[in-house]
Amino acid sequence: MRHYLLLMSTIFLTISAVAGSVAADDAPEKSRVLMLTESRGFEHGPVKRKEGELAVAEVAMTQLGQKTGLFEVDCTQNSEADFTKENLQRYDIVMFYTQSSGALPIADEDRDYFINEWMKQKGHGYIGFHSASDTFRTNDPKLNEEFRWYWDFVGGTFNGHPWNSKTTVTITVHDPDHPTMKPFGKQLVIKDEIYQYRNWQPEKVRVLMSLDMTQCEPKRPYHVPVAWVKEWGDGKLYYNNLGHNAETWTNPAFLESVVAAVEWIQGSVEADATPNPELSAEEEAKAKAAAPDYVEPPKKEQSNANKKANRKRASAKKKKTDSPK
């Protein structure tokens, strides 16, 4: 609880400073944001609610909207009830910090409305954090095809994280003039969990930053993007892999990046979303040169490692549940 209160205090102070840089006189009409933090598998700390209170990520986004005056946030962990055609019509932006080993309980008609109508409207957008790409995930090829609508929209699917939450990574910012990237400068060094992806389609997104494989451990011989944007009809999408660690939600650059993403979706700032697959190809070549001796573990070993990790998580969860209140 003490750590939670300290985080809340830090978030408040950081957001107050970030909000001071937003020109209120030039602010567009306030956007309504629906933030979905539902977990159907592993629940990340920043979206874990304590004693009925909003989680760290939810508090950060709610306060960021209030302090900047740019947006107003409603938080939910119930997609079945709240991610509906009727309810989506009340909002301009959706934020996902979700996780589901399988599907979220979103009805087909609500999914179709979101993808084919709502998201394509001017002033509408999607902002995905961290495990938003670990949503509608499956190892079943048939189900993976059923979930294509989601990963084709987001840009890719979680496929492991060799760089865990205690790893300090170096990230190259490819487009430092992009509004969402200006807060980070040309390079970001941060301690956070970084995903690698399958169903990755570089020809459909503009990659904004990636792991610098020459300066990261462990090294892998493939491109690992960290943030990207794309247009969807007249709507806009911004995804950022960061956010596993609660401390990231107190990082001024991270929060300023979210502000810029909202402004871009609103249309008050211009930003390039042209796909840049050539950059992914270049980063792939650099990564291969940085990890020439890497050998992919057999699938059986990977599966056993995943099972071991899942057993460890289940055991930890059971101990927490069994512990006296």
pLDDT in tens, 89-145: 999 999 999 999 999 999 999 999 999 999 999 999 999 999 999 999 999 999 999
Task: Show the tokens assigned to 35.
Answer: 């933030």
Contact 134, 97 (CB under 8 A): no
Task: Show the tokens assigned to 192.
Answer: 């956070």
Q: How far apart are CA 49 and CA 45, in angstroms?
A: 8
SS3 content of the chain, % helix, strand, coil (to 5): 45, 20, 40
| pTM confidence score | 0.89
Task: Show the tokens assigned to 98.
Answer: 């979700």
Whether the per-residue pLDDT at 206 is higher than 70: the answer is: yes
Q: How far apart are CA 78 and CA 239, in angstroms?
A: 21
Residue-averaged pLDDT of the chain: 91
Whether the per-residue pLDDT at 12 is higher than 90: the answer is: no
115-125 as b/e: b if 16+ CB within 10 A: beebbeeeebb
Q: Chain-centre distance of CA 126, in angstroms?
A: 10
Question: If we measure between CA atoms, which residue out of 168, 249, 245, 178 comes closest to residue 207?
Answer: 178
pLDDT at 53: 93
pLDDT at 3: 67
CATH 3.40.50.880 assigned to 2-294:
yes
Mean pLDDT of 64-68: 96
Task: Show the tokens assigned to 10.
Answer: 């830090």
Residue given tokens 């040169």 in the structure block: 289
Q: Which residues contact 321 (CB under 8 A, 6 or more apart)?
A: none
Longest dimension (CA), the chain: 58
Q: How far apart are CA 271 and CA 230, in angstroms?
A: 10
Question: If we measure between CA atoms, which residue out of 93, 98, 157 comes closest to residue 131?
Answer: 98
Q: How far apart are CA 29 and CA 254, in angstroms?
A: 23
